[in-house]
Structure 1
């Protein structure tokens, strides 16, 4: 499940992992000077590919996030990740991203500022070749 320390979705390290994006310096909700939705909007418009996931890129905390990371890794594309469970650096993000996208589940993938989909849609796009084409 979503318990911390669940090793079943660990990725084997080949190179130092890319850092996760943190939307605030880390003081929790007291750190928010602008609404979380504005931070999300700024991020997805400034980065080509962003995946909002449960956990980190090296230690996802749910199977759906693990699968999306595997599919993105398979494209060889550069992408950013944001941990929606990190309440210290991303307070309220887990609910805010659902409102921002009008999509009820996580993970969520954005490409060139547009919401593309969650785990099922990314899986379908990968199988059809559309994901790799979109990211090349």
Structure 2
């Protein structure tokens, strides 16, 4: 039998918020390149890609979404970007409804055969392996600090 003696330890008092989880900011929605499947593209997908890459401070093309990546490499890249703490956009290459043909078009656009792909200030940075190499040294943050 356990008897209580004295007061509960700090943080265990009813109503204490000491050990509650931090509120996470709401996830931004992914960029959709088209309004949907019933709309004909009037410009090529490569031009849409160019506009997104050039208009965003940072954009990551992943398999899946910001909150539900569909491959381990996409998950790793999103984790690194969140750890760095920079603002970035996400485009889901598997969303054929809003981004038809994007999965292959991004590979042609970048001349890079794999996804995920990261662009910062309009420049191609690389994929998951490149970001993994840059993360420990803090090199990723310097990309955002350069003017």
Higher relative contact order at CA 8 Å, sep ≥6: structure 1 or structure 2?
1
In the other structure, the counterpart of 2:78 is 69
Q: Distance in 2 between matches of 1:81 and 1:52?
A: 6
Q: Which runs of 5+ in 2 are unaligned?
A: 1-22
Over aligned residue pairs, what C-alpha RMSD do you find?
Answer: 1.3
Q: Distance in 2 between matches of 1:84 and 1:112?
A: 20
The Cα of 1:32 is off from its aligned counterpart by 1.6
Which residue number in structure 1 is paired with residue 37 of structure 2? 27
How many equivalent residue pairs?
A: 123
Gaps of at least 5 residues in structure 1 are 1-12
Larger Rg belongs to: 2
Q: Which residue of 1 aligns with 2:62?
A: 53
Which position in structure 2 is the counterpart of 1:10?
Answer: none
Bigger fraction of residues in helix: 1
1:38 matched to 2:83? The reply is no
Distance in 2 separating the partners of 1:33 and 1:57: 28
Write out the 4+ residue segments of structure 1 that deviate beyond 3 Å after TM superposition.
none
1:101 to 110, 115, 122: 110
TM-score by length of 2: 0.80
Residues 85 and 94, structure 1, Cα contact 8 Å, conserved in 2: yes
Deviations 1:29-55 (A, max 9, x none): x53221100000011000110000000
SS in 2 for 1:120: helix
The answer (yes or no) to whether the contact 1:22–1:82 under 8 Å persists in 2 is yes
